Amino acid sequence: MKETTPLVWKLTLALAAGLVACDQAPSADGLPEWKPADHHSADDNAGGGASGQQAPAGGGKGGGGETAQLVEMAWRQQCVQCHGPMGHGDGPNGPLFHPRDLSDPQWQATVSDADLASSIKNGKNKMPKFDLPEPVLQGMVARIRMLRAAKNGG
C-alpha cells in the first residue's frame, strides 16, 4: 500500500492541475501573429474548406476567398471544440460546457445577426470573447446562419 500512495498523489495533483488549467482560455501572449500564408492544407482549394461553407463574398482586404479561409480557420480552431463541426454542441469539450446547438432553427429565429456578432466578440456565459477582424466576424455570423440550412437539408 505504501508504494501506491505516491502514485495516487501524483495522479491527484495532475488531475487538479488539469482542472485548473481548463477553467480559462489559453494565453496567446508571445505567439506570432497568424498570417494566411502560414497555413495550407489539402482542403484549402476544395471549395472553401472541409465543410464547403463560405463567408460572404467581398469581405476583407484580400477578397472573399481569403476571408472565407480565415472564417474557416477561426471556426475550426475556436468553435469546433465546443460546438462541434456542424454546430450541434457535440464537440469534444461539449459535455463540459453544454454549448448551444447553433443549427437549431427555433433558436436561430430568435437571435439577430447583431446578437450573434456580440456573443462572438464579447463572449457569453462560459464562452470566451474572440477578437476577430470585422470581415471575419461577419463571415462567422454568416457561417452560423448556414448551419440552420444544413440542418434543414438545404
Cα separation, 64 vs 68, in Å, equals 6
Task: At 53, list the grid cell.
Answer: 461553407
Q: What is the pLDDT of residue 36?
A: 62
Task: At 34, list the grid cell.
Answer: 497568424
Angle at 149 between CA 42 and CA 119, to 5 degrees: 85
Q: Could you report the per-residue pLDDT of 30-70, keeping only the tens digit for each?
A: 666 666 666 555 444 444 433 444 434 444 444 568 889 99
Q: What is the pLDDT of residue 73?
A: 92
Q: Could you report the per-residue pLDDT of 95-140, keeping only the tens digit for each?
A: 999 999 999 999 999 999 999 999 999 999 889 999 999 999 999 9
Please name each of the domains of the chain with its CATH number. 57-154 (1.10.760.10)
Q: What is the pLDDT of residue 5?
A: 73
Lookup result for grid cell 444544413:
150
Are 44 and 72 within 8 A, CB to CB? no
Task: Give yes or no for residue 88 having a pLDDT over 90.
Answer: yes
Cα separation, 107 vs 148, in Å, equals 10
Cα separation, 101 vs 3, in Å, equals 47
pLDDT bin (cut points 50, 70, 90) of residue 22 is low
Give the residues across from 127 on adjacent strands.
Answer: 124
